[in-house]
Every structure is written in structure tokens, then in C-alpha cells.
Structure 1
Amino acid sequence: MKYFAVISRMLDTEKNNMYRQDHLDYLKTLGKEGKVFSKGRFTDGAGGLVIYKANSLTDVERMVEGDPFIIQGARTYEIHEWAMQLLD
């Protein structure tokens, strides 16, 4: 399993507020499936970060493109494979 950091940048604050609960519910479902490692918003309002667990970039792209924030045009995104290392 690989880790992918997905940075989502704010495009439309009004749409963001409108679809926030749908976005959170979507991530909660993926989390229950073991596909989300961590998530959180940026405190400056610029967007947020989700760390996904997946076998491939294609799998992550499908998940991200299914996010209500992306579908509704509230945010854009960029994906980076992340070489996660836990500290001792």
C-alpha cells in the first residue's frame, strides 16, 4: 500500500461551505474502508490536505475525483506520492 498526499486548494468559498458535509461524509466512508490515513483543513482557509492509502495513482485519482468538493468545483487538487515514515 502506498500513501498519497492530496492538497486541495480553495476555488469557491460558497460552494465549499455548501458541500462541506458531503465532503466530510465522503471521506468518512473512505476512512472506514481504510483508504484515508489522515485529513485536515488549513487554518488560513486556503484548502486542506488528505493522505490517502492506495495501490496506485490511478486509484487515488478516482477517489479524489469522486469527492463532492471536486465534483462541484469548490476546490482543485494536486496529488503527490508520499514516502511516509513514522518516527521512533
Structure 2
Amino acid sequence: MPWFVKIEQGIVDKPTFDKYVPAHKAYVQDLIAKGHQARSGYWAERGGGMLLFQAATIEEARAIVSQDPLVKNGCVKYELHEWRVVVE
């Protein structure tokens, strides 16, 4: 299954963003349980973060990202890319 990455930048104040972090973490746990091998984190040296996950198609990846609580609640702007693994 292809890998996809959502690279995001926060666009709301920290208290608003932090309000949706628990729901985002639960959402990522659900993706893991469904076999998407999701990983989520943030950049140590700057604002923003990344969600790495597997999906069957770019359309499925878009649907997955659209359900992320950080996206649904307007907390981030993001780019979605297919990531092609070269070395495993």
C-alpha cells in the first residue's frame, strides 16, 4: 500500500489548537487500528507537523486527511503528498 504524508502548519492560536490535539491523537490511534500504519508528530525546531500513513489511493488519502480533527476544525493548513519509499 502506498505511503502518504500530510505536512501541516498551524493557523490558529495555541489554546485553540491544543483543544483538538486529544481528538487528533485518538484519530491517529484509530488509523493505526485500521491498518494505515499512521505516525504523527511535530517539528522540534519550528512550528507545524506531519502525519505519515498508508492508503490504497490518493483519493483514500484525501478522505483520511479530511477527517482529521485538526483539519475539520480549521486548525491547520496542509499539503498532501504520496511518498515513494526507495529503501526499506
Task: Tell me whether the two structures share a fold, i.e. TM-score over 0.5.
Answer: yes
What's the TM-score, normalizing by structure 2? Answer: 0.88
Tell me the matched-pair count. Answer: 87
- The answer for unaligned runs of 5 or more in structure 1 is none
Task: Indicate the percent of aligned positions where both proteins have the same amino acid.
Answer: 24
Once residues 43 and 51 of structure 1 are traced to their aligned partners in structure 2, the CA distance between those partners, rounded to angstroms, is 16
| Counterpart in the other structure of 1:25 | 26
Q: Which has the higher strand share?
A: 1
Instruction: Give SS of 2:74's match.
Output: coil
- The answer for unaligned runs of 5 or more in structure 2 is none
Once residues 31 and 17 of structure 1 are traced to their aligned partners in structure 2, the CA distance between those partners, rounded to angstroms, is 22
What's the TM-score, normalizing by structure 1? Answer: 0.88
Instruction: Give SS of 1:79's match.
Output: strand
After superposing on structure 2, the runs of 4+ consecutive aligned residues of structure 1 that deviate more than 4 Å are none
1:34-81 superposed Cα distances (whole Å, 9 cap, x missing partner)? 113422111245111111101111101111110110011111111111
